[in-house]
Amino acid sequence: MNFSDLGLSPKVLEAVTAAGYTTPTAIQAEAIPHALQRKDVLGLAQTGSGKTAAFVLPMLSMLEKGRARARMPRTLILEPTRELAAQVQESFESLGKNHKLTVALLIGGVSFEPQAAKIDRGADVVIATPGRLLDHFERGRLMMNSIEMLVIDEADRMLDMGFMPDIEKICKLLPFTRQTLFFSATMPPEIQRVTSQFLHNPIRVETTARGSTVDTITQMLVKAPHEAAAKRDALRNLLRTQDNVKNAIIFSNRKTTVALLEKSLRKHGFNAGALHGDMDQSARLKMLTAFRANEVTFLIASDVAARGLDIPEVSHVFNFDVPIHAEDYVHRIGRTGRAGREGAAFTMVTKEEGKYLKAIENLINKELPYFDNGAVEETEDSVKPARREARGRGRTKTEPKVVAIAKVEEVAKSVVVETAEKPAREPRVHTPRPPRHTHFENDAPNDNGFHDGNMPSFLIKR
């Protein structure tokens, strides 16, 4: 099947050909014809399957007729993160170059006024994160009663980030007769409830099973020590064993670990950069641009980069931490092996992370092999003595228990000797305090109003 068989307009087909696309993916081939017929679509597909083009292309064809009015956009696309929203905007700039459409990007981390000014002039397409969209609406800078098509992308990610109440609020503000395209990688019960409430007789398009991974990705496990410094040593050793790394993403569960890894890799000569949610928007976009341009080889990231980011030629993915949620593993390794290319994914596993690994293997229905050359055991040299002393530990895991017991007995004997040689303390002599003045019936105050012996010195006449 070719794109010309899907019913797209000549302008869109010309842009698709110029972009180098020849054959539609499974989700595109099934979703686009239904979208062009103005039907609601519920699309389920794994990451990297081409979901963005599945709603951008039919939207471009439908927007060729008509114009947007001030503060009244015609279509709305909701994305969970700023990076995904910016990426969809890039897709419109590439595939919509033959259309004179105004696209407004409403995301946090940047100035509010330029976005409002663009809406005031009339926007055909609004691409937004839920929070910033509601900010514009509540300030009266945006009206949503002219929306013809609503796209909710990465819905399961929206659920994870707590955006579902905002999504429900936005859907209630839109016209009842709108068309809705709903895309998600998984379908938890909360997502099913939302789709049954806001989609009207949707066409369900499901191209892959839940939790499936791409066959072109080589997946390996690496045994890693639990101690943080030793685990960073193990990561560096693993990176040095991979000679064919073009560029790679290193995922961590925590933002603080992302910063530590960036500092560690730079210190040891690796070309590394960081990407996490605490960075401002300009810094995040700058880092992504540098990574796409191969100016940064190793991008250390939190799960903000795990879903939807289209960086086609990522050769490797390294999981410094095993994902807590098994579905995140599928999304992480989906950053490599895209568009039929080969990729490699390595996951570092400590003994404490075994339960998370088991959940991942149950999800993907596959037992992952271990990469022997990357195994690094925790040794005496890999643990810094200063860090051990700061924690008050007397020995490492490799130190024999007998030696530790001998040390304890030696310290106990020295304490006994020191106590025996110390002279006995002199008994304290109790000196009673003088009794306080007691008033009796015959103890009348003197002429100054004070009792005898209590006259202040400055009142005594001399």
pLDDT digits (tens, 9 = 90+) for 203-228: 999 876 666 677 889 999 999 999 99
What would you report as the CA-atom Rg of the chain, rounded to the nearest whole angstrom?
Answer: 34
C-beta of residue 261 within 8 angstroms of C-beta of residue 331:
no
Beta-carbon count within 10 A of 396 CB: 15
Indicate the residue among 377, 393, 412 that finishes a domain. 377
The answer on 271 and 172 residing in a single domain is no
Tell me the pTM.
0.67
The answer on 150 and 92 residing in a single domain is yes
Residue 306 domain flag:
yes
Indicate the residue among 174, 206, 238 that finishes a domain. 206
Q: Give me the amino acid identity at 327.
A: E
**pLDDT tens-place string over residues 307-330:** 656 676 899 999 999 998 888 898
| The pLDDT value given to residue 382 | 39
Query: Average pLDDT of the chain?
Result: 82
What mean pLDDT is predicted for residues 343-347? 94
| The pLDDT value given to residue 372 | 72
What mean pLDDT is predicted for residues 177-186? 91
| The pLDDT value given to residue 21 | 86
The answer on 173 and 274 residing in a single domain is no
| The pLDDT value given to residue 225 | 93
Instruction: Return the percentage of the chain with pLDDT > 70, whole number.
Output: 77
Domain CATH code at residue 36 = 3.40.50.300
Q: Give me the amino acid identity at 376.
A: V
What mean pLDDT is predicted for residues 293-309? 82
What is the Cα–Cα distance from 377 to 350, expressed in whole angstroms?
Answer: 10
The answer on 239 and 97 residing in a single domain is no
The answer on 320 and 234 residing in a single domain is yes
pLDDT confidence bin for 456, thresholds 50/70/90: low
Spell out a b/e string for 443-456, using b for 16 or more CB atoms within 10 Å of the CB, else e.
eeeeeeeeeeeeee
Sheet of 248-251, strand order? 217-223, 343-349, 316-319, 248-251, 298-301, 272-275
The answer on 195 and 337 residing in a single domain is no
Residue 211 domain flag:
no
Beta-carbon count within 10 A of 11 CB: 16
Domain that holds residue 234: 217-377
Reported residue count of the chain is 462
Beta-carbon count within 10 A of 301 CB: 28
**Residue among 220, 217, 192 at smallest CA distance from 204:** 192
Indicate the residue among 325, 360, 377 that finishes a domain. 377
C-beta of residue 249 within 8 angstroms of C-beta of residue 299:
yes
C-beta of residue 229 within 8 angstroms of C-beta of residue 387:
yes
The answer on 134 and 72 residing in a single domain is yes
What is the Cα–Cα distance from 23 to 373, expressed in whole angstroms?
Answer: 40
Residue 419 domain flag:
no
The answer on 341 and 232 residing in a single domain is yes
The answer on 125 and 40 residing in a single domain is yes
Residue 324 domain flag:
yes
339 φ, ψ (degrees, to nearest 5) = 55, 40
pLDDT confidence bin for 149, thresholds 50/70/90: very high
For the chain, the 3-state helix, strand and coil shares in percent, each to the nearest 5, are 40, 15, 45
Residue 388 domain flag:
no
Number of domains in the chain: 2
pLDDT confidence bin for 186, thresholds 50/70/90: confident
Residue 421 domain flag:
no
The answer on 179 and 72 residing in a single domain is yes
Residue 315 domain flag:
yes
**Which of 147-156, 254-263, 386-395, 418-427 comes out lowest in average pLDDT?**
386-395
The answer on 159 and 273 residing in a single domain is no
Residue 422 domain flag:
no
**pLDDT tens-place string over residues 389-436:** 444 444 444 444 444 455 545 555 554 444 445 555 666 666 666 555
The answer on 271 and 367 residing in a single domain is yes
| The pLDDT value given to residue 326 | 86
In the predicted structure, residue 381 carries a pLDDT above the cut 50: no
What mean pLDDT is predicted for residues 246-256? 92
| The pLDDT value given to residue 75 | 96
